[in-house]
Amino acid sequence: MEAYILDAVRTPRARARPGKGALSGLHPQELLAQTLKQLPLRTGVDVADLDDVVVGVVSQIEAQGANLARNALLAAGWPIGIPGFSLNRFCGSGLQALSLAAMGVASGVQHLVVAGGVEQMSRYGLNADGGGTDGGNVDLRRRFFQVPQGISADLIATLEGFTRQELDAFGLRSQQLAARAQAEGRFQRSLFPVTHPQTGEVLLAVDDHPRPDTTAEKLAALTPSFIQLGARPEGPAGETLDELALRAYPRAGAVRHLHTAGTSSGIADGAGAVLVASKDYLRAHGLKPRARVRAVSAVGSDPVLMLTGPAVAARKALDAAGLKPRDIDLWEINEAFAAVVLQTMRALELDLERVNVNGGAIALGHPLGATGSILVGTALDELERRGQSLALVTLCTSGGQAVAAVLERV
């Protein structure tokens, strides 16, 4: 695939607290607009050359509706001739935006595209649009009753035989690595400070979601998050969500509720953007890219177990790139839940030392539509810091899907 990344930028990830979070008072269009404006400042590219702006956003309602992508580029002061559109592949939306940008550029139809994502979860939390996973389709539920992701994560942990101690250890690792990365300035290349649009006051300059004081003892004291949810009667005959999960996977015997707030992704506000260019555009303008998009993929997986797609998506992208898991220097596997990363690592036989080396969404937060584009910048920054070549970014999504991209440092 001949598609190249010129640069990647992101906002800090802020704790999502309605009315109190550092970014909660900013309109989501403005949050993305400030992100977009960083790209020409850093690359010198004339935005009038853009063919499209593709943006992932999950809760496309109210302030995040009305084609946020188009409105954000107008809010950024970019030429009115630039089109934009928003997409929703749940948690994979930001990386799906990159995939579409790379495909458009690689096909020769486009030459310069911005791919990004945004989510302001202070305003619009999980299921804010009211659609859930299946839109309330009773007939679909007779085929697949898609239990909430927390139940799926605990079911995966049960089937894989992960212990509470293993999940807690992974959650602690995420916090410790994120704290080290912040202390060493590893995120600084991609980050920019978000400011108040009228006063210019800096609202947030660094990620404020991590809890560097986390300890194993504090994690062990947390109550599992999804016990009451699993006991909720949601089935057509009054079955609980746990019972519906076990109907699909009776070999589990019982759903062991193991995930806590310390081993689940954090709710956050944030935005990210990636500038993608063709080889012809690079040559014509004398530009040097940071990376090449070697391959992208999207897959469907079991809609009840839901979160096991990353290993499948990774294999598909690796096959397209002619690579094996051992060839990848750095892995960014979105930490939707600790069991997701552990299951993916087990399926692909990955070395922990190459996975999420600067922490992940457990520590840093998961602004749904933005995380995929944010992880692209995180991976590129770390490849450059280490002098390494290949990274793979992958995310699971609600409804049983996953996306992946292989990035090669230039």
- pLDDT tens figures, 182-228: 999 999 999 999 999 999 999 999 999 999 999 999 999 999 999 99
pLDDT tens-digit map of 230-279: 999 999 999 999 999 999 999 999 999 999 999 999 999 999 999 999 99
Which amino acid belongs to residue 247?
Answer: R
Residue 53, H or E segment: strand 52-56
Whether residue 234 lies inside any domain: the answer is: yes
pLDDT tens-digit map of 125-182: 988 999 999 999 999 999 999 999 999 999 999 999 999 999 999 999 999 999 999 9
Q: 369 near 277, Cβ under 8 Å?
A: no
Whether residue 153 lies inside any domain: the answer is: yes
Whether residue 224 lies inside any domain: the answer is: yes
Cα separation, 347 vs 345, in Å, equals 6
Residue 343 binned pLDDT confidence (cut-offs 50, 70, 90): very high
Whether residue 104 lies inside any domain: the answer is: no
* Mean pLDDT, range 340-346, rounded to an integer: 98
What per-residue string of b and e applies to 380-408 under the rule 16 or more CB within 10 Å gives b? bbbbeeeeeebbbbbbbbbbbbbbbbbbb
pTM score, whole prediction = 0.97
Whether residue 112 lies inside any domain: the answer is: no
Q: Which domain holds residue 230?
A: 138-185+209-252
Q: Which of 204, 164, 167, 210 is nearest to 358 (CA)?
A: 210
Name the one residue in this structure whose structure tokens are 């080396």. Answer: 357
Residue 99 binned pLDDT confidence (cut-offs 50, 70, 90): very high
Structure tokens at 238: 């009054």
The predicted structure's pLDDT at residue 129: 93
Question: What are the φ and ψ backbone dihedral angles of 375, each rounded to 5 degrees?
Answer: -65, -25
**Which residues make Cβ contacts (< 8 Å) with residue 178, sequence separation at least 6?**
207, 210, 212, 358, 359, 360, 363, 364
Cα separation, 245 vs 254, in Å, equals 9
pLDDT tens-digit map of 17-51: 999 999 999 999 999 999 999 999 999 999 999 99
Number of domains in the chain: 1
Positions marked catalytic: 91, 366, 396
Whether residue 154 lies inside any domain: the answer is: yes
The predicted structure's pLDDT at residue 98: 98
The predicted structure's pLDDT at residue 338: 98
Whether residue 143 lies inside any domain: the answer is: yes
Angle between helices 149-160 and 338-348 (to 10 degrees): 40
Cα separation, 92 vs 90, in Å, equals 5
Cα separation, 299 vs 355, in Å, equals 21
The predicted structure's pLDDT at residue 73: 98
Cα separation, 271 vs 371, in Å, equals 8
The predicted structure's pLDDT at residue 215: 98
Structure tokens at 14: 């802020």
Whether residue 319 lies inside any domain: the answer is: no
Residue-averaged pLDDT of the chain: 97
The predicted structure's pLDDT at residue 149: 97
- With a pLDDT cut of 90, the percent of the chain lying above it is 98
Structure tokens at 96: 């799906």
